[in-house]
A and B are shown apart, each in its own frame.
Chain A
């Protein structure tokens, strides 16, 4: 249960090795934490995430096999996570950036990005929402992206999956209104993680710890949508109103 000071006891991470998610777990108030479930594909990165949490003395770390693109196993993973105790915060953090040129050359690669980022999220998101709603409390944090605010020539495959995910999360949040369960949509800009290693940094680039802080504050205040960093909200509002002939020519 979340307590009066906003301290959670049960946390679920979908995409257990996500650097943003692990930074968020570390930034949550930890005085009352007793169970953190990392659901992800077995990998050295996932082992490292477990080690990081253990080193930080986070109690009750559990690992569950979870592949976003294998929707047939989602029901089972979600049930096991929730049957082990109430989940106060669920982070939907998995995602694939993919390579735009590769995706254009090989549509199967684009399909994989779409399957993980959108189809997988819809599948597991609805199941998590149903369980949160059944327990009458808890927040699903959805890692969307500013890339979904407006599709760009340079990464519209990824951007379109995030646009879909974002619209899905908005509708889900509205559906859950009044049920005690909630959805928090997070729209980061460029964050330094293994997803963006080797890419040129964009203006307003931040670290996973910065996103984590924004998420924790938003959870405490019961926000529905946040940008990371916050001022990106205004940048994106501006970009969204740029006419397409001009937008096309912007170096984005």
Chain B
């Protein structure tokens, strides 16, 4: 045996990483960070390919991976502390919103914003500045962060908040992990008296119908989202809107424990979902069934928080259903004046046979000061599509141009294919953010495949 180490040899801890869409893999050394000191040590000893924090890998594209780099896993930094008087929680950045909810809902507190899955970390929620069904009322997750601790590119530990360090704070909110490693955050909570949402449901005939209802009525609800049938040319769908239900609404056994929260997860996809389950035939059937399953109209139905916010979390690893070529989610935000793009995008995707099971339409409220924060007032549409669809690239490139012309943009947490030119043009404050990032990470220690692909 040779005593030389080969440069081709795999390194300990090396893992191949992708986002939720399972496209464009790259390999990195994944290191578990146990403490702030650990993170500082990793940063100061970073190699030429740099460092990146990764949460639960629920971004769809390449945001949470960095080929050849050291990728930090913060799941061991799992403190959850509730401050009842302040109505806030202080939570380690590696903690999932699932864990936060399991810990806090039974005490009568809910997170200020939750995305369509609980399986995201607090670090990932801040770095992508995630939004939920309440964006039109409550804004993004980042805007509810009181303060956060970050290790910057020099390995310095900094406490950031909106008042004393607004520039660094907002460069980090939506900054996709490129300003530093978030280790902990304190954020506002919503007081609740039950773990149920009172939901009004309407089956909508077409896009005009659902968009009219949302424009005229969303303000009356804290939470609102529409599912759209991507197969049916009408754009029919199901609009669900709701608010936290008071404990007094619960009856029978449920009233005994109004704050109960213990959602079940059906284990792993391979046995449940055959690879390649997603195909035009199943997509047609799925969309039809989803539409039919909804009542024409029903008011005040009590749904469990998990059922209302995270229906997909019931099945683990459902992303494998798209087969080896993976899938992507195309999500754009455009001003109200460009609402017609919603229908045009769905038609364009239907045109190449890119049928989606998960098509979600929402209204966004005001934007926040984050230069890279995605939400802006108007409409946002999110469509899941298999990456292997022929002709998908050109269709999405054309949609990009339309989104850009309308003054809109794409969500970095979902993107896996836009061009650097589209990025720069649709986020006009990119250069301003880059200067702020350079000040926090002068040596460019933090990088990701996303950052390289889009020249961030």
Contact = CB atoms under 8 A, between A and B. Distances in A.
B316 interface: no
Contacts of B387: 4-5
A225 interface: no
B365 interface: no
Nearest to A180: B27
A27 to B, nearest CB: 14
A134 B417 CA distance: 23
Interface stretch (A149-157, A171-179, A207-215, A243-251): A171-179
A3 B417 contact: yes
Contact of B27 (A7, A31, A86, A136): A136
A2 B24 contact: yes
Nearest to A3: B417
Interface string A82-93: 000010000000
Most buried by B among A2, A34, A126, A172: A2
A129 B61 CA distance: 25
B16 interface: yes
B8 A180 contact: no
B384 to A, nearest CB: 12
Main secondary structure of the interface of A (DSSP, over half): loop
Given A135-B67, A136-B67, A178-B10, A4 B26 contact: no
Interface string B5-30: 01110100010100001011111100
Interface in B147-174: none
Interface in B229-257: none
Contact of A178 (B24, B27, B416, B449): B27
B111 to A, nearest CB: 29
Given A180-B26, A180-B27, A134 B68 contact: yes
Contact of B397 (A31, A130, A134, A179): A31
Main secondary structure of the interface of B (DSSP, over half): loop
Given A129-B8, A135-B49, A5 B417 contact: yes
Contacts of B453: 1, 3, 9, 32
B393 A7 contact: yes
Given A29-B393, A133-B7, A179-B8, A4 B14 contact: no
A135 B417 CA distance: 19
Nearest to A172: B8
A137 B27 contact: yes
A178 B417 contact: no
B326 interface: yes
Given A31-B397, A86-B452, A3 B24 contact: yes
A134 B66 CA distance: 11
The size bracket of the interface on A is 20 to 34
B419 interface: yes
B328 interface: yes
Contacts of A34: 420
Given A176-B8, A178-B10, A3 B416 contact: yes
B338 interface: no
Most buried by A among B6, B28, B62, B68: B68
Nearest to A133: B8
Contacts of A126: 8
Contacts of A134: 7, 49, 68
Contacts of A137: 24-27, 67-68, 449
A181 to B, nearest CB: 8
Contacts, number: 91
Most buried by B among A3, A176, A179: A3
Contacts of A3: 23-24, 62, 416-417, 453
Contacts of A176: 8
B69 to A, nearest CB: 7
Contacts of A1: 24, 26, 62, 67, 449, 452-453
Nearest to B61: A4
A74 to B, nearest CB: 14
Interface in B378-398: 387, 392-394, 397
Contacts of B62: 1, 3-4
Contacts of B420: 34
B24 A4 contact: yes
A2 B416 CA distance: 9
Interface in A1-22: 1-5, 7, 9
Contacts of A179: 8, 10, 14, 27
Contacts of A4: 21, 23-24, 61-62, 326, 328, 387, 416-417
Contacts of B394: 31
Nearest to B418: A3
A123 to B, nearest CB: 14
A176 B453 CA distance: 23
B164 to A, nearest CB: 37
A178 B452 contact: no
Contacts of A129: 8
A178 B16 contact: yes
B67 A180 contact: yes
A35 to B, nearest CB: 12
Contacts of B28: 136
A97 B453 CA distance: 38
Contacts of B419: 31-32
A135 B61 contact: no
Interface in B64-79: 66-69
Contacts of B69: 136
Nearest to A29: B393
Interface of A: 1-5, 7, 9, 29, 31-32, 34, 86, 126, 129-130, 133-137, 172, 175-176, 178-181
Given A3-B416, A135-B49, A137-B449, 12 more contacts: A1-B67, A3-B23, A5-B417, A29-B393, A32-B453, A133-B8, A134-B7, A136-B26, A136-B66, A172-B8, A179-B8, A181-B27
19 contacts: A1-B26, A4-B61, A4-B326, A4-B387, A4-B417, A7-B417, A34-B420, A86-B67, A86-B452, A126-B8, A134-B49, A135-B49, A135-B67, A135-B68, A137-B67, A175-B8, A178-B16, A179-B27, A180-B26
The 5 closest A-B pairs by CB, nearest first: A136-B67, A180-B27, A4-B416, A4-B23, A136-B68
